[in-house]
Amino acid sequence: MNNPYQTPTAPVGMTNDVPYTPRFLSLSGRIGRLRYLAYCFAIALLGYAVMMLGTLLSLTLFGEDAGMVITITLAVVLYIALIVYTFGYMVRRLHDLNHSGWFCLLTLVPIVNLILVLYLLFARGQPASNRFGPRPAANTTGVVILAVMMPVLLTAIIGILAAIAIPQYAEYVERAQAMQSAP
């Protein structure tokens, strides 16, 4: 006999929460903070590699004048593509935080854009499905390596630039002092 006052027997809190695997060049779905960092870094590296290759080929094949026009055109197209994908990744990250993608327009406001980027990098996403779709799958080894590589590579680049710039600046200061002390 079916008793209407009987306690429920269904498992409470269990949902059909099947994660999906995000794709690199997709502009829909959700991505976590580590994947967001890795994807932004990868798209920037890809853009720079295409730009260097395009510059080399255009200057080699078409000469200096036509090659520069082609290089500038390629740079503008690549820059627009990088902006679109960066905003796309930002929207996907905001969706993981259960916020509207329109919040990415806050990057156009000075100071607020820094706060937004810090929020995107450090805030935990929704652990289960939300109104923007199922949760993303766990990060792969490649995503983790790429995300860890970014700060290491940036530190190396800053160190190299500092090693070049500091002696140049010291030499500039010496020349400026020599010019001031000369009659």
Q: What is the overall mean pLDDT for the chain?
A: 87
Percentage of the chain modeled with pLDDT above 90: 43
Note the pLDDT tens digit of each residue in 132-176.
Answer: 888 888 888 988 888 888 888 888 889 998 999 999 999 999 999
**152: its two tokens:** 């290491």
Q: Is the pLDDT of residue 10 over 70?
A: no
Q: Is the dihedral of CA 112, 127, 145, 46 positive or negative?
A: negative
Q: What is the pLDDT of residue 26?
A: 81
Q: Is the pLDDT of residue 7 over 80?
A: no
What are the residue ranges spanned by the domains of the chain? 22-139, 140-183
Task: Give the model's confidence band at 24: pLDDT under 50 very low, under 70 low, under 90 confident, else very high.
Answer: confident
Q: What is the pLDDT of residue 29?
A: 85
What does pTM read for this prediction? 0.73
Collapsing DSSP states into helix, strand and coil, what is residue 146? helix
- Compute CA distances 61 → 50, 52, 67, 73, whole Å: 16, 14, 8, 16
Q: What is the pLDDT of residue 116?
A: 93
Q: Is the pLDDT of residue 14 over 60?
A: no
Q: What is the pLDDT of residue 181?
A: 85
